[in-house]
Amino acid sequence: MPAASTTLRMLAVSVIASLTVTGCQTLDDAGRAIGRSDLVNDLAARLDGALELTYSADYQLPGGQSASIAQTQDPVRSAYTWPGGKLTVTPEATARCETAAGRASCTLEAPPAANAKPTVTLFAEAKQRGLVTPPVVVGLLTAAALDPDAVIAQSDTTLAGRHATCVDVKRSAEDFTACVTTEGALGRFTGRIDGRQVELTLNRYRETVDGTAFDLPPDAGVVDRRPASS
């Protein structure tokens, strides 16, 4: 596993483990309070582990819109699609595409380093358009863990036929609800991202990926900003 991913997981797990979760505590034999840190640890680890999976997931957004995430591991590729935009990360390029007035335009940039995973900064536009990705949710959980006043409650549900564990996070900075399936896919998210209300719900999950998921939109105009090969 790449060092960056390992560091992210260790940070999320170690920080979240220190979270005090009120309203959801029991007492052990010594009378000490036991919180839900194990649960939050598990959810953070599941989301991080999902970056190592091959899967495709479709999401329902408000207003009948949709979004999707697709990943493969051999080769390592990922695609994130949202209304009016798409981000693909492959060994050949990082492609950012937008559609306006019925025509798509894509900008190709250098791909990540070998075996590296997409960073949270790649998802800025996706967040604004309603697609919240697993790395972003891990970041939100970590931020909540750093807030001593954060309160987390747990529930369980079924999404797209998959069992999912949910956490309802209450904090002064930003409240949100996140559900994670047993496989580690993001199942549901509701909350404010960069001041904008965002909602998505998993409505289809598959352990296979259509190879066309990583194609650029048909007839897209392409600007290639990748460094020239030596």
Please give the average pLDDT of every successive group of 10 residues along the chain, which has 230 residues. 41 37 36 47 83 94 94 91 92 92 92 69 74 86 74 91 92 89 95 88 96 92 85
CA 127 to chain centre: 10
Contact indicator for 134, 7 with CB cutoff of 8 Å: no
Contact indicator for 15, 8 with CB cutoff of 8 Å: no
The whole-number pLDDT of residue 4 equals 40
**What is the number of other CB atoms lying within 10 angstroms of the CB of residue 90?**
16
* CA distance linking residue 67 with residue 83, whole number of Å: 7
- Token pair 């972003």 in the structure block, residue: 136
CATH architecture of 3-38+55-224: Clam (2.50)
- Token pair 């296979």 in the structure block, residue: 208
Domain-wise residue ranges, the chain: 3-38+55-224
**What is the number of other CB atoms lying within 10 angstroms of the CB of residue 91?**
11
Closest CA to 48 of 180, 205, 193: 180
